[in-house]
Copies of this chain bind each other. A is one copy, B any other.
Amino acid sequence: MTESNETVRMDDVVSLCARRGFIWQSSEIYGGINGFWDYGPLGVELKNNLKALWWQKVVRERDDVEGLDSSIIAHPRTWEASGHVEHFSDPLVDCRACKKRMRADQLDDAGACPARQGTSEHDWTPARNFNLMLKTFVGAQEDAAATAFLRAETCQSIFLDAKRVRESARQKIPFGIAQIGKAFRNEINPRNFTFRSREFEQAEMEFFIHPSEREKWFEHWLAERVEFHRALGFGDDRLRVRPHRPDELAHYANAAADIEFRFPFGWQEIEGVHDRGDWDLRRHGEYSGKELAITDELTKERYVPMVIETSVGVDRTCLALLCNAYAEEKLDDGETRTVLRLPLAVAPVKAAVLPLAKKIGEPAQEIARELRRSFNVFYDEAGNIGRRYRRQDEVGTPFCITYDFDSETDGKVTVRERDSMAQERIPVEGLRAHLQDRLEKAR
């Protein structure tokens, strides 16, 4: 019945996102700002649900992972130690005639210099490295001493805080620190909707281990993270693990793997699992002069912990969820519907409460109020019921609760299920517990 995602076009997803209030370009009324996106009423719920799910699995369900929420702006030495000041750059060229700046490795796509339209002439300078961190100035001066950077990845402050977290939470090796937050990269060429943007959200976890256990924990975390994406409904045809080849690995890394999703624009990384060795702690130890090695209580061995990292793009995973969920269906009656088959745990709205007519709105409102104690609920009394169902299908609402003229006498409502469109009469009494139970079971 469902058309395959083979034919899902980005245009359809982008258009649905703007029309229904998931995601649109930031500052639209000023013509937009390239590489920045806003999440609307439904988008923010989707994203928050995804983040809560990650936090539940990675932090709360484990004894050995602690949470963190650090500032976006850190001490500038952070980015010298991490290597970002020196190495986090793209090769750029300038046109000597019009001063336009381009990525040297994208000149073929870029075509001729815009100052000399219609000709292939241009006069590029040799490539030079352009740092991709966003720079700012903190304090009353605007000079080198005041220069700071918006973080290019959330993990660095995990390394800075590792000792403080370990001590205050009384953790021992092996243990991890997890964080969700914004990061920034001055992409020269933002593209593919929210996939490659300049401001984005990461969910990262750094797991600190003894050097003898690198392989074991790398395998553990890779398996955990693949399982997470499987539970989001990404099947074998849309999800794959791509281990890095030896020549792709950083000099300090034993292993790395990308978890890739097949978007309409191709296979792309949504998460990376990396063995980072002791590179980060060692560098921050050197640059700060602080002792970041630890002593094993039993063996008295002294060592700098190694790190296994899991790093997932929150926006990218939201986009994967939307692409994976989007379907246009031909129904038996010849009509078509657009439906977002989102997993229940991340669906922005869990239930829509729909009185069959406005005049029975009051008891329906009462049901909505009761359900809102447990989850996000939408209330809608306008338009014919079929159209209201379609609207909820299109935004992925798993349950529609219809209050009709029988409800007043039999104390029941019709619960319509999004995917099967099956309808069932359920007593209003206990409805919240019933839905909560179905939502919990679906996890």
Q: Which residues of A contact B (CB under 8 A)?
A: 18-21, 24, 26-41, 43-45, 47-48, 55, 60-61, 63, 66-75, 77-78, 92, 101-102, 130, 134-141, 148, 150, 157, 160-161, 163-165, 168-170, 182, 184, 186, 188, 198-199, 284, 287-288, 290, 292, 368-369, 372-373, 376-377, 379, 382, 440
Contacts and interface: CB of A to CB of B under 8 A. Distances in A.
B69 A47 contact: yes
Interface of A is mostly: mixed
A298 to B, nearest CB: 15
A165 B130 contact: no
Contacts of A63: 368, 379
B168 A33 contact: no
A42 to B, nearest CB: 8
A41 B199 contact: no
Contacts of A60: 372, 376-377
A19 B167 CA distance: 8
B138 A198 contact: yes
Nearest to A47: B69
A41 B165 contact: yes
Nearest to A28: B164
7 contacts: A26-B71, A27-B157, A39-B70, A40-B68, A41-B67, A41-B169, A138-B198
Given A21-B168, A30-B160, A39-B70, 4 more contacts: A26-B73, A40-B168, A60-B376, A63-B379
A9 to B, nearest CB: 20
B30 A73 contact: no
Contacts of A35: 138
Given A39-B70, A70-B38, A30 B164 contact: no
Contacts of A48: 55, 69
A41 B168 contact: yes
A30 B186 contact: no
B33 A138 contact: yes
Given A60-B372, A77-B30, A372-B61, A71 B37 contact: yes
B160 A27 contact: yes
Contacts of A138: 33-35, 134, 186, 198
Contact of A78 (B30, B69, B78, B170): B30
A71 B26 CA distance: 7
A29 B70 contact: no
B168 A150 contact: no
A130 B140 contact: yes
A161 B72 contact: no
Contacts of A130: 140
Contacts of A68: 38-41, 44
A303 to B, nearest CB: 18
A36 B182 contact: no
A36 B74 contact: yes
B71 A38 contact: yes
Contact of A27 (B38, B74, B440): B74
A146 to B, nearest CB: 10
Contacts of A66: 21, 40-41
B198 A73 contact: yes
A369 B67 CA distance: 18
B38 A161 contact: yes
B73 A40 contact: no
A21 to B, nearest CB: 3
A367 B219 CA distance: 28
Given A26-B75, A75-B33, A136 B139 contact: no
B71 A186 contact: no
Given A30-B78, A73-B198, A198-B138, A67 B38 contact: no
Nearest to A292: B29
A33 B73 contact: yes
A363 to B, nearest CB: 15
Contacts of A141: 101
Contacts of A75: 26-27, 30-33
